[in-house]
């Protein structure tokens, strides 16, 4: 099977702006076109390979119904299935992490790591922001609020809080899970109610059209039964994301520790895959905290 450089370039370019994929393989703006979700990307690669769903299903030893569910966003592939599909469609290795991210899996490191200036535009900006904020904990969140990266200081802080590196997990942990799950930040936060309100307000206000992303719908399904989430999700107004900073107050064995969380964004929530990136920096509060 032959994939042209132009087609691979077309798929990659969805990361550089408000690019959406049309049914005929063109890149354009959002009105009237399909967003570059996992299902649409899989369909584009299958059509580029000249295969029907039945052809691919026979090659993979799976059902056309399952492939149809993957392309329509009604199901998410296992890691093994995703690897089999990429192999079956002869997807270039340079595009594997694109599909892994769209599926909710952690990207794999390059066999021959490139310097930051040789990577894509968004990755280059992320690396630059991490370097510029090396003195404070920093989390990188995508358009559906998955934590897709963290600097070393953030990993150390959260490892100290939770006893493990939660950002090394695959698939990515979502901010809603981070706040509402009973075994993560919830029992550590003195002002959990305030943080829960602020988190839901930010997510609802800033997720935008990405709220229809199957991966985000799966997140909502996972957190829907967590205490305190459903009532907030249906009741908190979406007209404003609230203040620029949110104070996290942790109850630790050696006393209280507080951080002011400040969110900054790259791109818009409706832009594809890695646009709409958010940088969340945690600034230690120097004075003693009373709550």
What's the pLDDT band for 5 if we cut at 50, 70, 90? very low
> How do beta strands 255-266 and 147-150 pair?
unpaired
User: What pLDDT score was predicted for residue 120?
Assistant: 60
Domain 5-103: homologous superfamily in CATH: lambda repressor-like DNA-binding domains (1.10.260.40)
Distance CA 63, CA 203 (A): 36
- β-partners of residue 138 are 281
Residue 187 pLDDT exceeds 80: yes
User: What pLDDT score was predicted for residue 6?
Assistant: 45
Residue 86 pLDDT exceeds 70: yes
pLDDT tens digits, residue range 110-169? 555 444 444 466 677 888 899 999 999 999 988 788 888 899 999 999 999 999 998 887
More confident residue, 169 or 2: 169
The mean pLDDT value of the chain amounts to 77
Residue 195 pLDDT exceeds 90: yes
Q: Where in the chain is the domain with CATH 1.10.260.40?
A: 5-103
Residue 238 pLDDT exceeds 80: no
Helix (H, G, I), strand (E, B) or coil at 264: strand
Residue 2 pLDDT exceeds 60: no
Site of tokens 């206000």 = 205
Residue 183 CB partners (closer than 8 Å, separation 6+): none
Q: Which of 1-5, 165-169, 208-212, 253-257 has the lowest mean pLDDT?
A: 1-5
More confident residue, 107 or 182: 182
More confident residue, 286 or 35: 286
Cβ–Cβ < 8 Å for 223, 232: no
For domain 120-284, give its CATH number from 3.30.43.10, 3.30.450.180, 3.30.230.10, 3.90.1150.10: 3.30.450.180
- β-partners of residue 147 are 141
Classify the C-alpha dihedral 119-120-125-127 as positive or negative: negative
Q: Where in the chain is the domain with CATH 3.30.450.180?
A: 120-284
Residue 34 pLDDT exceeds 70: no
pLDDT tens digits, residue range 200-213? 988 887 776 556 66
Phi, psi of 10 (to 5 degrees): -60, -45
User: What pLDDT score was predicted for residue 153?
Assistant: 95
């Amino acid at each position: 099977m032959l994939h042209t450089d132009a087609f691979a370039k077309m798929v990659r370019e969805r990361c550089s702006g408000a690019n959406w994929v049309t049914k005929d393989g063109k890149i354009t703006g959002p009105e009237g076109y399909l967003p570059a979700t996992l299902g649409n990307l899989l369909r584009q690669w299958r059509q580029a390979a000249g295969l029907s769903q039945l052809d691919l299903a026979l090659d993979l030893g799976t059902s056309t119904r399952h492939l149809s569910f993957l392309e329509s966003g009604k199901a998410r592939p296992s890691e093994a299935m995703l690897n089999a599909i990429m192999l079956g469609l002869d997807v270039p290795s340079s595009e594997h992490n694109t599909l892994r991210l769209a599926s909710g899996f952690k990207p794999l490191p390059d066999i021959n790591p490139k310097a930051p200036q040789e990577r894509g535009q968004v990755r280059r900006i992320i690396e630059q922001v991490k370097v510029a904020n090396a003195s404070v904990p920093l989390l990188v969140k995508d358009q559906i609020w998955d934590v897709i990266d963290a600097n070393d200081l953030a990993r150390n802080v959260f490892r100290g809080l939770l006893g493990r590196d939660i950002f090394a997990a695959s698939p990515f942990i979502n901010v809603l899970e981070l706040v509402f799950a009973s075994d993560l930040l919830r029992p550590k936060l003195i002002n959990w109610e305030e943080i829960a309100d602020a988190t839901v307000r930010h997510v609802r206000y800033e997720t935008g059209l990405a709220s229809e992303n199957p991966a985000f719908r799966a997140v909502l399904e996972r957190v829907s039964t967590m205490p305190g989430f459903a009532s907030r999700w249906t009741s908190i107004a979406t007209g404003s994301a609230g203040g620029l900073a949110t104070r996290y107050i942790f109850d630790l064995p050696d006393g209280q520790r507080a951080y002011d969380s400040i969110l900054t964004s790259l791109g818009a929530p409706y832009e594809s895959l890695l646009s709409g990136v958010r940088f969340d920096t945690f600034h230690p509060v120097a004075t003693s905290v009373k709550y």
